[in-house]
Amino acid sequence: MKIETIAIHAGNQVDETSKAVIQPIVMSTTFERNHEGGYDSGYSYSRAANPNRTALENVLAKLENGADAAAFSSGNAAGMSVFQALQPGTHIICPDDMYHGLRNQIKMLFAGILEFDFIDVNDAEVLKAHIKPNTGLIWIETPSNPLLKITDIKQVVAIAAGHNLKVVCDNTFATPLCQQPLALGADMVMHSATKYFGGHSDLMGGALITREKDGLWERIRDVQTMGGAIPSPMDCYYLIRSIKTLPYRVRGHVHNAQLLAEFLENHPRVEKVMYPGLQSHPQYAIAKAQMTGYGAVFSFTLKGGEEKAKKVVNAVKIFTQATSLGGVESLIEHRASVEGPDTKTPFNLLRVSVGLEHIDDLIADLEQALA
């Protein structure tokens, strides 16, 4: 099946009892045992499994063409389950511009438990030089947040394979519509389902999808079940509903992002636009080779420094000044202020999540804010 059909049907089934076309929301926390003490339904307790979560995990796995998926209450919970599943003392290699929420999580919660280095994973020689006997995992994020760096997934996978290392790819910015990391050799994909899967800035969720059900995956499943950082049946239901329109929403987002990035690249007050869909992007060739679309988040820096950037972000009328991304509404933020004192983000940088408003209105809004 094509991805549009998968998005609609893989998480949906006709209810056997009522014949309702859309499955019910099963709020029960516990399920009846049979006379032998087993469970005819396959469900025992909703922390372990729930019909709505099963349906969500099914569509997530099929969207990324994986063997299995695990749903979590947030993207950070999904990422943390990977780190919790590793043996103490394991060394992780992470990108130097890793999403700050997960970077801070590793630095603060796993100090003394795991070892970690934040490096330029796009430099093959630097990456090889940081592999140690206890290295177990390479984490990549492409496109990266907020600098929109592109990692050559096949290159990292080839290096990892030579040392028997796992590769996990944060695919939140790209979505399965624009990039399929498992098909490029990655072992696992992570998403903040809060973003494009939810798509309307009103749901929290996270997801992991694996290429194969191996030992690490079984430990992650144990973390999910025993830790209990799971989405509610209601959240699962609404995520499934939102995913049905994901392919068409993402196409609209990408269309707007490309046109808006091109407008800004030619604006005299703009210093630089970081968007992999522009030929000026330093890794445009890699993006073109491994992506079928370039996503709908980009960053741009302004002439005039931090003062000008803050003036622009406070002058928009259609864009909302807010954190997050992937919703139908366009968002803009001064990223360095959000990331805090250890940020590596330039202070004249604004990050944009391009929504589904009419492109003419979005261009006009940024034009007046830049004036």
Phi, psi (5° rounding) for residue 261? -65, -40
Among candidate residues 53, 62, 166, 195, the one labeled active-site is 195
Which of 39, 47, 96, 272 is labelled catalytic? 47
Q: Is 47 an annotated catalytic residue?
A: yes
Instruction: Please count the other Cβ atoms lying within 10 Å of the Cβ belonging to residue 38.
Output: 10
Catalytic residue flag (residue 96): no
Strand partners, 210: 68, 188
Please state, in angstroms and rounded to a whole number, the distance separating the CA atoms of residues 174 and 152: 14
Give the active site residue among 97, 170, 235, 365: 170
- As a whole number of Å, the end-to-end CA separation of the chain is 48
Active site residue 166: no
Cross-sheet strand order for the sheet of 270-274: 270-274, 297-302, 349-353, 331-334, 320-321
| 170 a catalytic residue | yes
The answer to whether 250 touches 196, Cβ cutoff 8 Å, is yes
Task: Report the sign of the C-alpha dihedral through residues 221, 227, 230, 232, in that order.
Answer: positive
Residues 155 and 82: their CA atoms lie apart, in Å, by 22
**Neighbour order of strands in the sheet with 135-141:** 68-72, 206-210, 188-192, 166-170, 135-141, 91-95, 115-119
Scored b (16 or more CB within 10 A) or e, 230-259 reads bbbbebbbbbbbbbbbbbebbebbbebbbb
From 53, 62, 97, 99, active-site residue: 99
Fill in the amino acid letter for 208: L
Residues involved in catalysis: 47, 99, 170, 195
